[in-house]
Structure 1
Amino acid sequence: MEGGSMRRSGRPQLTIARRGVAALAVAFAMLAAGCAGGDGGSEGKGAKPSPSSASARAAAAEKQLKTNSLVPLEGAAPTPKLPVTVDSSDGRKVTVEDASRILPLNGGIAEIVFTLGLGDKVVGRDITATFEEARGLPQVTKAHDVSAESVLSLEPTVVLADTDTGPSEAVDQIRDAGVPVVVLDPANELSDVSTRTTRVAEALGVPAAGKAVNDRFADELKAARAAVPEGNRPKVAFLYMRGSAAVYLIGGKGSGADSLIDAAGAEDAGVAAGMDKPFTPITSEALVKAQPDVILMMSKGLESVGGIDGLVEIPGIKETPAGLDRRVVDLEDGVLLSFGPRTPLVIDILVERLHQG
């Protein structure tokens, strides 16, 4: 599943972009603190969240995501302490001696590298790295296949991949050329984000920065979940669609969306209907059984079926409460299931949108 479509000449713009993002981060932090209560506020420690607090957090999150930029750790960039030898998820031990030219072959991994403060050492990107800081980097994938020739032409000193990266022949070719390739497990739920951040930071020789990113992530996620309103949990169906390719799937256990839906205080309709596979082809019977109150989609997926008007014409959609009420929530492809440092912003938005009306 793709997260979204994704020269060094663009690198000087990174500092300018970071300043703007840092300002937004400060504003977001102040707003978050205000939503948490403030002096004598009705939403101090232990108080119930209000609709206004959820709306304010969602508005701040949407503003941040609209910039399509990341918020790196404050302060000077960390200095990698190398060499290090780490475990790779393909069963190998990999020694990294140089992190001066980093090439992440996954959008979520790339987000982590930039958030650690090492973005100026990244030399290329794959198609799922859709955030602004990566825009000027050479792309080394066609569709989702890695081009070994493109990778090697950038002379990376370390490549970060995951077990879904392929084809395997290309990965072998990169490794055979003497480039250290650290393979990571995919992130399919919230708990995977911290693990992957720790492993990336260790592979790049900056473990302390990894801990700092994880601490920030935990604080932001806790604040996002604190805004979940009490009461009934709406049933939410995640639909993965690519109309041009006739791909129509509903998410179930292990889709990744189930973890986000749960964190936002809702119930995954596919899981509740007994769908024990990550994705199942959509049928009218499956939709009627799931009976979602809300449909969650990637923005490009919704666009590919003609927007909400086209979606409700798909057999079975109109027979659900979500279809009847046209309750559809969509988020940008490169963010929704990226399971990177921006995921707490996704939870902020879902908390507000899934519990509306």
Structure 2
Amino acid sequence: MRGTRRTSQLTATLATAIVGLLFLAGCSNTGHGQAQDAPQQDLSEVEVLEDPRSYEGPSTAVIPDAVIEPITENPDQSLPTTVTSYTQAGGEEQIEITDTSRVVALDMAGSIAASIWALGFSDTLVGVDQSTTFAGTEDLETVTSGGHTVNAEAIIGLAPDVVITDGSVGPRDVVEQLTDVGITVVFLENESSFDGAQNLIRQVAEVYGATEVGEQLATQTGQDIEDKIAQIAEIAPQDEDEKVRMLFLYLRGNAGVYYMFGSESGADDLISALGGVDVAKELGWEGMKPMTDEALV
């Protein structure tokens, strides 16, 4: 029953996330669990055409509050364990993990904390990044601030056994210096792709000495994604000329943070899953680049 409920939640979340991420606009984090609401479009203005896949007029995709149900409760751990930590220069370092009673999870999107929660280790979380806002995390200490800047003093004050991060928040040297006060820091690889999400789950599970449950969750997540993509493929156009041409724009708040996302950014995976054509990837754009009028044209 627990696995079945979690599967339905993951597939529902993926469906809304795949659509919702393509329409991100005007979003600005103001603190843990708080976000500036984007203006909602009156859908009565949308003209429905004969083709049920088509419509005219603007629309806004709304992502509901995320709920993550653990795949199991209190998984078995095998500690101490040795894991790979990735250096800024692209090298590898072996780190010994002896205790995971108190863990701080840090990354730009909140993916590490979400993985910890889904693995069944939510009780170990004492600090998270400002992007971690799913249900159940409201009372956790936020240790990043505007612009995803790490507050080292806040982390030290939590006395964590391990800080798990991917280097996407920083400054990185500030995070690395946490080792000077006896805090173990592990840098994971976090690739922006569906496969990367599964690999991240496995790495987080390794930190906890719980590789078996990590493989179970990664496999189930991969299956959920494949099932949802197959459902979308049943209604998406198959003819290349009929596929919707899409461009992923990241527009944040009033700070003028405007980006176009291309290949290897994660946006290409989402657009492909929707059965669309990624215009930026088609034009050879890689990663994310500042959006300009010229670039859009």
Identify the TM-score tier after normalising by the shorter chain: 0.7 to 0.9
Distance 1:169 1:208 in 2: 33
Q: Indicate if the aligned counterparts of 2:6 and 2:70 stay in contact, CA closer than 8 A.
A: no
Map residues 91-170 of structure 1 onto 2, 5 A cutoff.
91-106=92-107, 107-143=110-146, 144-170=148-174
Q: CA deviation at 1:161?
A: 0.8
2:226 counterpart residue number: 222
What TM-score, normalized by structure 1, do the two folds share? 0.61
Give the match's secondary structure for 1:150. Answer: helix
How much identity, in percent, do the aligned residues show? 30
Give the match's secondary structure for 1:132. Answer: coil
Alignment of 1:286 onto 2:283: no
Alignment of 1:179 onto 2:179: no
**CA deviations over 1:24-51 (Å, ceiling 9, x no partner):** 54765999xxxxxxxxxxxxxxxxxxx9
Q: 1:213 is matched by which residue type in structure 2? A: L
Distance 1:28 1:69 in 2: 7
Q: 1:185 is matched by which residue type in structure 2? A: E
Which is richer in helix?
1
Distance 2:69 2:118 in 1: 6
Q: 1:125 to 1:243 in 2, by over 3 A?
A: closer
CA-atom RMSD in angstroms? 2.8
**CA deviations over 1:154-197 (Å, ceiling 9, x no partner):** 11111101122311332133111111111012331111111111
Distance 2:287 2:112 in 1: 25
Q: CA deviation at 1:276?
A: 3.5
Q: Indicate if the aligned counterparts of 1:116 and 1:210 stay in contact, CA closer than 8 A.
A: yes
Give the match's secondary structure for 1:123. Answer: strand
| Structure 2 residues without counterparts, runs of 5 or longer | 13-50, 54-60
Alignment of 1:237 onto 2:247: yes
Q: Indicate if the aligned counterparts of 1:163 and 1:186 stay in contact, CA closer than 8 A.
A: no
Q: Indicate if the aligned counterparts of 1:255 and 1:279 stay in contact, CA closer than 8 A.
A: no
Q: 1:140 is matched by which residue type in structure 2? A: V
Map residues 1-357 of structure 1 onto 2, 5 A cutoff.
25=6, 66-74=64-72, 76-90=73-87, 91-106=92-107, 107-143=110-146, 144-227=148-231, 228=233, 229-231=236-238, 232-283=242-293, 285-288=294-297
Which is richer in strand?
2
Count of matched residue positions in the alignment of Structure 1 and Structure 2: 239
Distance 2:9 2:119 in 1: 19
Distance 1:98 1:270 in 2: 44
Give the match's secondary structure for 1:245. Answer: coil
Q: CA deviation at 1:67?
A: 3.7
Q: CA deviation at 1:96?
A: 0.4
Q: 1:165 is matched by which residue type in structure 2? A: V
Q: 1:252 to 1:207 in 2, by over 3 A?
A: same
